[in-house]
Structure 1
C-alpha cells in the first residue's frame, strides 16, 4: 500500500500478526491506556478493566480459548503494540453468519498513519476466508468522523443510531452509530 491508498510511509514499518498469550500484557497495557484517554469511545470503563488480569483477555485470542472471539489482530512497531482489533463470532445457529468487530484502537501517537486501515483490511481478508460468515457489524461513537470515514472507505454502511448508548462517569451520554459490511461483496 502507498499514501494514495490511504497508508502513510510510517505504516510501512508496522508488522501485523495475530496476538498470542505471550502478547496479553502488551494488549492490556494498550487497552488500559486507550480506555483511560478515550472514555467516550468504548463501552468498557477504564477502572473496571484496569483491575482485570492480563490473562483474563485470553478469550479474545481464538475460539479455542473459550470465548466468542475469532481472533485479535495486533499492529507492532518493533516490540511495541500500537494497535489492535478483535473480531467475535456468533455461535447460535440462527446468527452464525454474523461477526462483530470490537475494541479497535490505535495508540494516540500512531494515529493518522494508516495503521487502523491496515488492521481493518487484514481482518477483512481473514474474515472473508471463513465460509460461514456473511456480515460484519460494529458500533462507533457518533461524531468520531475519522473512524467513521475509515469504516466507510472499506465498505461499511450505517444501519442504525443508538442515542444514549453509553453513559460517561460525569453523567453525559454518547450515541453510537451501528454499521455493517457484507463480507461476500
Structure 2
C-alpha cells in the first residue's frame, strides 16, 4: 500500500490520539496502556513523545498517511541519561485494522530503524510484544529483531494475564 511515511509534528497530535484510542480499545492486550486511562487525555498530553524538544535524535513518532488519514504510527524513545543513551525503545506500533497486512507496519518499522541508524550514538533498539501476537512477532523477526527473553504475566487485561516477549536489534 502506498502511504506517506513521515515524522509527526504537534499539528498531528489529534490524529495520533484518535488512532491510539482506537487501537487501545480494539487491541487491549497489545499495549501496556489501557483505553479508559488514555481516552481522557488531551492530544497535547503526547507532545513530549514526539521528541521535538530533543536535539540528540532517536526520540520521535513516525506516521503512515493516506491523504489526511493516519493509517498507523510507531514511536522510538531514547533515555537522555548517558549510561543508556545508546538504546532506543520501540513503542506503540499501531496499524488500523483495515490496512493491516498491506505493508504499512513494515514501512513504519523500516523508517524507524533507518532513523535510529542515523541518530548519533544509538547502537540498539529494544521492544516488547505480547506473546501470541504472531503477526507482530513475524514482522519484528523478519527485520532482524531477536528474542532475548519473556516477562511472564507482564500485563493483565480483564483479569487475564499476558506474557511479553522482549526483543533486541543491534544496529
Same fold (TM over 0.5): yes
- Aligned match for 2:21, one of 14, 29, 32: 32
Q: Which residue in 1 is equivalent to 2:99?
A: 110
Q: Which residue in 1 is equivalent to 2:36?
A: 47
Q: Which residue in 2 is equivalent to 1:8?
A: none
CA distance in 2, matches of 1:85, 1:179: 16
After superposition, what is the alpha-carbon deviation per residue over 1:75-134, rounded to whole angstroms, capped at 9, x for unaligned? 001110010001000211111111100001000111010100000001111110112010
1:62: Cα distance to partner?
1.3
1:63: Cα distance to partner?
5.0
Q: Which residue in 1 is equivalent to 2:7?
A: 18
**Structure 2 portions without partners, runs of 5+:** none
Does the 8 Å CA contact 1:71/1:88 hold for their aligned counterparts?
yes
Q: Show structure 1 runs of 4+ deviating over 6 A.
A: none
CA distance in 2, matches of 1:71, 1:55: 15
Look up the SS of the partner of 1:112 in the other structure.
coil
CA distance in 2, matches of 1:129, 1:164: 35
CA distance in 2, matches of 1:25, 1:91: 27
Give the alignment of 1:144-183 within 5 angstroms.
144-168=133-157, 170-183=158-171
After superposition, what is the alpha-carbon deviation per residue over 1:140-159, rounded to whole angstroms, capped at 9, x for unaligned? 00111110010011100000
**Structure 1 portions without partners, runs of 5+:** 1-10
TM-score of the pair, normalised by structure 1: 0.89
RMSD over aligned CA atoms reads 1.3
Could you tell which deviates more after superposition, 89-98 or 105-114?
89-98
Does the 8 Å CA contact 1:34/1:105 hold for their aligned counterparts?
yes
Give the count of matched residue pairs: 169
Look up the SS of the partner of 2:12 in the other structure.
helix
Does the 8 Å CA contact 1:69/1:86 hold for their aligned counterparts?
no
